[in-house]
Amino acid sequence: MIGMILCGGLGKRFLPITEDIPKTLFELKKNYTLMDKQIFQYKSAGIDRVFLLTAHLSEKIEKKFGKKHMGIDIEYVREKKPLGTLNAIRLGMERAGEDVIVSNGDVVADLNVRQMINEWKESGTLGSIFVTKLRSPFGIIEMEGKRIMGFREKPLLNNYINAGFYCLSEQTLPLLEKFKIGDIEKTAFPELAKKKKLIFYNEDGPLWMSIDSPKDLQSAQKEYSNRRDKPWGFEKTLRLDKKIMEKLLYIMAGYRTSLHRHEIRDETLTVDYGTGYVEYENGERRRFSKGSEINIKPYTVHSFVATKNTMLREISTPHPEDVVRVKDFYEVR
């Protein structure tokens, strides 16, 4: 399976900045761009080869990522002139010669890429689209008769939207060659849907954003001001002072943290949602589910393993660097 990232857009809503900097090189935090985020996701899913589908300012992207990044082999498929997402994907698939997973380079999402791929492969269909619920850009007024009963601030609506990640079989290439240009969402996908060869993948992760405006970028940068992505999900520091540290740990289904211990830190974790188990150095496993409370004393060697997407809320003594890794399960962290 080859990963492909669409990164040839002109970024018109960010002019004049995008005259010199491609949107996918915008930083979520220092030295961590939108593209870094997606390459990290592919690496964490076990993908070791990624095509960057470029056009506008391709040379800036090639200079940044070179031929290898985060241990992943990077190749470039460059359009001389942007002709839509379908053409970029078609050119990439012609070179790939195998199944691919494609992502829009301006999407920031907590997506279990490996799980999406596995679910699609099991379906036997030609394609899969990651979908998410649409969030209203405005507050909603709740009414009954002529009375206003209340207000909801920018709620999730019942409608789903294309969330910018696609699994595609190499067998779809003749269909892409039929259309050649245009946006894949308006050409090949409707035809695949009519033939019942297209499925959706839904995952209600903590974060999904499409960086379509400076305001979107500011929101994403605010999210990443106290967050660090991990191969298994992310950790986010909510509070750190002389008395206490509070963090969120999000672990994707099928993933686990390193086997590690703390020499000073005494921590208690509450499961906001999800299921899994704590595995100890001696092989003992203690299962957890929503509402479970887990206490980890200093020098206890342990690893958190998620069987469903899991959010842990940690309250501990304020020692953020007190982590001794006994065994790592990932090449990047």
Q: Domain holding 23: CATH number?
A: 3.90.550.10
Same domain, 132 and 238: no
Same domain, 135 and 244: no
| Among candidate residues 153, 179, 211, the one where a domain is terminated | 211
| Among candidate residues 211, 239, 264, the one where a domain is terminated | 211
| Cβ atoms within 10 Å, residue 198 | 22
Mean of all residue pLDDT scores within the chain: 93
Q: Has residue 162 been placed in a domain?
A: yes
* Segments forming the whole domain that contains residue 48: 2-211
Provide the CA 144 distance to its chain's centre, in angstroms.
39
Same domain, 19 and 87: yes
pTM here is 0.91
The pLDDT-based confidence of 118 (bands split at 50, 70, 90) is very high
Q: Has residue 332 been placed in a domain?
A: no
Q: Has residue 54 been placed in a domain?
A: yes
Same domain, 39 and 93: yes
Q: Has residue 262 been placed in a domain?
A: yes
Gap between the Cα atoms of 29 and 37, Å rounded: 10
pLDDT value at residue 43 = 96
User: Which of 6-20, 116-130, 302-316 shows the lowest mean pLDDT across its residues?
Assistant: 6-20
Q: Has residue 221 been placed in a domain?
A: no
Q: Has residue 127 been placed in a domain?
A: yes
Residue % of the chain over a pLDDT of 70 = 99
DSSP 96: H
pLDDT value at residue 333 = 64
Average pLDDT value for residue range 114-119:
97
How many structural domains does the chain have? 2
Residue of 66, 16, 27 whose CA lies nearest to 211? 27
Q: What is the pLDDT of residues 139-195, one digit of tens each?
A: 888 888 888 888 888 777 778 999 999 999 999 999 999 988 889 999 999 999 999
pLDDT value at residue 240 = 95
Gap between the Cα atoms of 139 and 151, Å rounded: 7
